[in-house]
Amino acid sequence: MKVLIAPNALKGTLTAIEAGAIIQSFIQEKFPGIETQVVPIADGGDGTCFLLGEYFAFPQINSWSLDSVGRSKAGFFYFDDKEKTALLDVSTVSGLGDLEEELKSPKNTSTYGTGLLIKKAIQIGAKNIVIGLGGSATVDLGLGILQGLGFHFLNQKGREINPFSDSMMLEFKHIQLPVPFPDINFRLLCDVKNPFFGRNGAIPVFGPQKGLKEHEFNQFESHAKSSIDILFHKAKKQFVDQEGYGAAGGIPVGLSAFFPVEIEFGAPYFFEKIQIQDLILSSDLIITAEGKFDNQSKEGKACYELLQLANKYQKRTVLLSSGEEGESAGFTQFIQLPDLNFKKPDIRNQALKGLKQTMKKLNLK
């Protein structure tokens, strides 16, 4: 019997690599005759490009950068020299997980540090930039990335605005383009289909988790619209909102004004790259995991997309997840992970213990 272990990250607790190692260790100990293969999966969320870089063993390029509030932070990206392609995650240096609660605020967080990493990639020869958009701390339209690439944003008096200014969008009136202009293309991987504006847009849906208060929504949206008007007027383009523009606080919006941009919904892209179809075909059972399977999981999340492929080839499947909605998702077996107490500091240990305990319910017959 051959088992494919393909977990997603258990968000906020265990990485996909860690979860896969725990599941494999249990099976090897309890069922030593079973062959296992671990292939962590992602869907454009936090760590997607990290997993791709590790899977293909691309060289990791390290470079100092800044986090989303301007503090020094060690960053990195992967570089495929053959294809002149850099792969990086926004969360590496511009991630929400790096911020203390009191520092979460879309008004003064910036993707500038991510822009610095992209600039470094260009310096070593990158022509194509693949970005995993999950886990960002910002709602800055990608203005920070543009500043990191040499764009200058000026106020009404012609003075340059600091990337971490709490009035960036309010003061932003003029743009000076970089010389020479970066000759690059972007491929953006996301796990959400939200547009930037509207009831399902970036501001009302993702703003609160990044520190934006409900009473600030209208004003923030007004300033964002003004900024977008300036960007697209300078680029001599018409702005048309679309699916995916709300990902990572609107990074696709700012980049699409000036660069060729392709938005990919991460799971299909990831699965195609690692040729997971072949791995499924050669396996008898597929085990996957997610922090909490819910209605959003059916909107392109890795575990649900994996289930569709497994069902196509009539393969048995197991889902490990908290919550109860995984019970009716269509997996052959659903194993519910215990709920975690996020008020306690040992959240990671709780997750480790819970995953190990629930593995005892695994049915391999």
What is the SS3 assignment for 260-310? CEEEEEHHHHHHHHHCHHHHHHCCCEEEEEEEECCHHHHHCCHHHHHHHHH
Helix 16-30 to helix 48-55 angle, to the nearest 10 degrees? Answer: 60
Reference 189, options 364, 25, 81, 42; nearest CA is 42
How far, in Å, are 147, 191, 219 from residue 159 at the CA level?
14, 37, 23
**What is the DSSP secondary structure assignment for residue 7, as one 8-state letter?**
P
CATH number, domain 48-266, options 3.30.420.10, 3.90.1510.10, 3.90.226.10, 3.40.50.2000: 3.90.1510.10
- Cβ(347)–Cβ(340) below 8 Å: yes
Report how far residue 13's alpha carbon sits from residue 352's, in angstroms, rounded to the nearest whole number: 8
Each residue of 45-102: pLDDT tens digit? 889 999 999 999 999 999 999 999 999 999 999 999 999 999 999 999 999 989 999 9
Residues 341, 140: Cα–Cα separation, whole Å: 32
Q: What is the pLDDT along the chain (365 residues), one digit of tens a residue?
A: 999 999 999 877 889 999 999 999 999 999 999 999 999 999 998 899 999 999 999 999 999 999 999 999 999 999 999 999 999 999 999 999 899 999 999 999 999 999 999 999 999 999 999 999 999 999 999 999 999 999 999 999 999 999 999 999 999 999 999 999 999 999 999 988 999 999 999 999 999 999 999 999 999 999 999 999 999 999 999 999 999 999 999 999 999 999 999 999 889 999 999 999 999 999 999 999 998 888 777 777 899 999 999 999 999 999 999 988 889 999 999 999 988 877 777 888 888 998 999 889 998 87
Architecture per CATH, 2-40+275-361: 3-Layer(aba) Sandwich (3.40)
pLDDT at 364: 81
For the chain, domain boundaries: 2-40+275-361, 48-266
